[in-house]
Amino acid sequence: MILTWEISTNIENSLIDFLRSSITSQSLQVLDQNGIAKTVNVYAGRELNNDWNLPLIQVYLDSKPDATRLEIGSNKRLRSFQIIIDIRTLLPGQETNLADWVEETINNGITIYDYTPNSSNPDVPTKVVLGHGRVDFITSLPVLSYDDADKYDQNRYRISAKIWING
């Protein structure tokens, strides 16, 4: 058996999918220092990549803090998946505004998909609905400013949230 995406990766990618489609459907953009509108990018991964373009929303699964049994005699659990959302923008203040947008956008929860590889189009995996993920916010605050911070850290905001799903 070749192990493909399991629940953790499915949740991470479902959130990324959701944010990307929300950005597209709302044509969400922010202005740069020259007044030129820039589309917000969404990237996956704990490690910052210097090829990423600002403004951006970085999303990754950090931990799985809860796995409570739902009932006696069942192996079903109520699981939570703690996600880190780092928002990095070009201009000060935009990171807070974008964080507000993210919180409002995911507040009602997100659809979780089960992704499977698609050999005919590897960049677009096949997906079927797995369930609805409830979102609980844990922290939401600007990240400290740094002395010689590079462009990625000058205006940074971090949200951590738990996504809950039964299973």
Partner 1 sequence: MIIAVFSQPGQSIPTVIGQQLGILAEEHTKLLAEEHKKELDKAIDDTRERVLKPTGNHLKEQIQIEPIRVADSKGYGVGNIEVLNQKAPWWAWINYGRAFSGRTIPPGTKDNPRITGHFVPDTKGIFTKGQPKFPIDPKIAIKPHNYIEKALGVMVNKVRNLIKTGVI
Applying CB under 8 A, which residues contact partner 1? 46-48, 62-63, 65-66, 80, 82, 84, 136, 138-139, 143-144, 146-150, 153, 158, 160, 162
Q: Which CB sits closer to partner 1, 66 or 116?
A: 66
Write down the least CB distance from residue 7 to partner 1, Å.
17
Minimum distance, C-beta of residue 150 to partner 1, in the bound complex (Å): 6
Minimal distance in Å, beta carbon 49 to partner 1?
11
- For residues 45-72, one letter each, b for 16 or more C-beta atoms within 10 angstroms of the residue's C-beta and e for the rest, the string is eeeeeeeeebbbbbbbbeeeeeeeeeee
**Separation in Å, CA 38 to CA 46, 105, 115:** 23, 19, 30
Q: Are residues 87 and 139 in contact, defined by beta-carbon separation less than 8 angstroms?
A: no
Give the residue with the Cβ less far from partner 1, 69 or 129. Answer: 69
